[in-house]
Copies of this chain bind each other. A is one copy, B any other.
Amino acid sequence: MKYDLTKKTTRGAERTLDAFSTTMFEQLSTKTFEEITVNELCEKSNYPRATFYNYFDDKYDLLNYCWYSIGRQIHLEEYAELDSEKSLYIFFDRAYDFASNHLVNIQRILKFNPIDSFLMNHFRGYLNTQMRDIFQQCPEKERYKIPYEIVADHYSNTLLLILEWSFLRMKDCSKAQAHQYLKYLLEAL
């Protein structure tokens, strides 16, 4: 990313970042991620190409920013040092609620960018990294019979699986039901 997100963003910068990311989401309801061009994003956002490249390295970089902005909406940063299982359910609930509130948009995007598209794989990758970080902060890494790195990945895989089942595959799965699946799959740990 060309733009430094750690320093406080000026009003103008925020407007620009917002414009490009909402345009990206809009275009994703229209076509494949691969089909979206930087030119297109600039035209729809009413910014010159040079401005795009002032902020982002390329469209993949913008995509990362899109996930990052979703991450902030579900307060991915606020994780106390809870044990892994607690963290898992908190994370799951926040993601579940967010997805519920944006069901229509998600389904629109899935029309063109299905579960095994580049877009969704990219999103999975992002969430996985985030979860790895969260689980890394947890205490009690010693209480498992196998290496904690494996446990953390297993937690994050399983959470993602149930989230996908609930939303991407449109199974209309209640939160309670989802919790039950999670509990069943992670019983061994």
Residues of A that sit less than 8 Å from B by CB? 116, 121-122, 124-125, 128-129, 145-147, 149-150, 153-154, 157-158, 161-162, 164-165, 169, 171, 181, 184-189
Mind listing 17 A-B residue pairs with CB under 8 Å?
A: A116-B128, A116-B129, A121-B121, A121-B122, A121-B124, A121-B125, A146-B181, A147-B171, A150-B161, A150-B162, A153-B161, A153-B165, A154-B157, A154-B185, A157-B157, A184-B188, A186-B188
A44 nearest CB across to chain B (Å): 25
Are B150 and A154 neighbours in the complex by a CB distance under 8 Å?
A: no
What DSSP secondary structure best describes chain A's contact surface?
helix
Are A125 and B129 neighbours in the complex by a CB distance under 8 Å?
A: no
B124, B125, B149, B187: the one contacting A165 at CB < 8 Å is B149
B121, B125, B157: the one contacting A158 at CB < 8 Å is B157
